[in-house]
Amino acid sequence: MSGWLAAARAVGVETASRHAKDVDAAARFPSESFAALKAARLLGIMVPASEGGDGAGIAEVVSICHALGQYCASTAMIYAMHQIQVSCLVRHGAGSDWHRGFMRRVADEQLLLASATSEAGVGGDVRSSICAIEEVDGRFSLAKQATVISYGADSDAIMVTARRTPASPASDQVIVVVPKSDCVLDGQSDWDTLGMRGTCSNGYHLKATGEIAQIIPKPYADVSAQTMLPTSHLVWSALWSGIATDAVARARAFVRAEARKKGGAPASAWRLAEAASLLQLMKSNVVAALRQYEAALGSEDRLSALSFAVAMNNLKTGSSQMAVQVINHALLICGLSGYRNDTPFSLGRHLRDAHSAALMVNNDRILANTGNLLMALREDPELLP
């Protein structure tokens, strides 16, 4: 286990798990967990060593998200969303002085980065924007009706997608880094939801100004295909499998307790085997996609290939569905002890949190997109890559 993973697990055991119930009940930002993650200097690990970070790879972050998901899904999701933004910054901002300077701040000050991609009028279509960058004398202004900005209030900066100019088509987008000091967030909606309540994903009318240099030089189409999409699907799937891992652990503890009480394996033991097998499938999917991403990292062509996009989309849609299935199995195993909110086997929060997975970004939208991509691809007859 790496030092970073060990430190994250310690935050999970000592802090995130202790506050998870209250974070969920009050729909509040997991401030204790983030104080601990910052104290362990885990927010800037992906920043290159040349900019004051640790140069950690995506595998480290995926492992940490999986670990945190076992203790508090909201903490894990916020950590995952932050690292998605950091990976875009690191991979596509390395050639820009402004972004390298900002990376140094992320590492030194342990800044927490949020994201404003969703927008009123385009829904969850992250590859379309209505709002646009307006440039005057080397500076920009931007106004966005952002339907959801997770932990917007507690973040230090927000990465915002927008059309390149007011004359650009909806898909000609850029992504701009906006420190909170450069923007005004006018609250439009609260976040009283079924699950992932601690992400505090309120809606805002965002207004920002800044230097043109804050815009990531690469088109957002490339940032999205090569980094944001694969990284999102990897870290999300990792934390969803973390939630499922804890559900299976609770089911296993329940079966053991029943076996001790009754002097033999209970009738539900076979279902534990089924849940464990599904979980194994989930984890294998994450690891296989991670290896595929790592192998593609050196080549923009491989990262932009249709087959790569299909593989990453499949990871997301598959993991999001399987998380709920695994937790459902665990619930059937634990029965009322899992259904109640006051036992060591409670699974309500796991199930509610996991239901967000299919919406984030909506699976129907992703499946429709994958279906279109598949029409342009031949079937791969090989088992091994």
Q: Least distance in Å: CB of 85 to ligand FAD? A: 9
Closest residue to ligand FAD using C-beta atoms: 123
Residue from 37, 42, 88, 116 that binds ligand FAD (CB under 6 A)? 116
Residue count of the chain, please give it: 385
- Smaller CB separation from ligand FAD, 60 or 353: 353
Q: 188-208 b/e with 16+ CB inside 10 Å = b?
A: eeebebebbbbbbbbbbebeb
Contacts (CB under 6 A) with ligand FAD, residues 63-82: 81
Euclidean distance between CA atoms 98 and 179, whole angstroms: 12
- Smaller CB separation from ligand FAD, 76 or 103: 76
Burial-class residue 222 by CB neighbours within 10 Å (0-12, 13-18, 19+).
middle
For ligand FAD, what does the binding mask look like between residues 348 and 367, x meaning CB under 6 A? Answer: --------x--xxxx-xx--
Q: Least distance in Å: CB of 105 to ligand FAD? A: 21
Supply the DSSP symbol for 201: -
Residue from 84, 89, 133, 196 that binds ligand FAD (CB under 6 A)? 196
Rounded to whole angstroms, what are the CA distances from 317 to 82, 309, 340, 361, 383? 21, 12, 29, 9, 21
Nearest to 165 by CA among 138, 137, 131, 125: 131
Q: Least distance in Å: CB of 129 to ligand FAD? A: 11
- Smaller CB separation from ligand FAD, 321 or 343: 321
Residue from 124, 179, 217, 348 that binds ligand FAD (CB under 6 A)? 124
Residue from 201, 227, 268, 313 that binds ligand FAD (CB under 6 A)? 201
Q: Binding of ligand FAD at residue 232 (CB under 6 A)? A: no
Supply the DSSP symbol for 215: B
Q: Binding of ligand FAD at residue 284 (CB under 6 A)? A: no
Nearest to 37 by CA among 89, 85, 84, 79: 79
**C-beta separation of 154 from 172 below 8 A:** no
- Smaller CB separation from ligand FAD, 196 or 223: 196
- Smaller CB separation from ligand FAD, 214 or 363: 363
Beta-strand pair 157-163/113-116: parallel
- Smaller CB separation from ligand FAD, 205 or 365: 365
Q: Binding of ligand FAD at residue 148 (CB under 6 A)? A: yes
- Smaller CB separation from ligand FAD, 327 or 334: 327
Contacts (CB under 6 A) with ligand FAD, residues 85-114: 114
DSSP 87-150: HHHHHHSTT-HHHHHHHHHHHHHT--EEEE--BTTTBT-TT--S-B-EEETTEEEEEEEES--T
Q: 29-53 b/e with 16+ CB inside 10 Å = b?
A: bbebbbebbbebebbbbbbbeebeb
**C-beta separation of 232 from 59 below 8 A:** no
- Smaller CB separation from ligand FAD, 81 or 286: 81
The binding site for ligand FAD (CB under 6 A) comprises 81, 114-118, 123-124, 148-150, 196, 199, 201, 356, 359-362, 364-365, 368
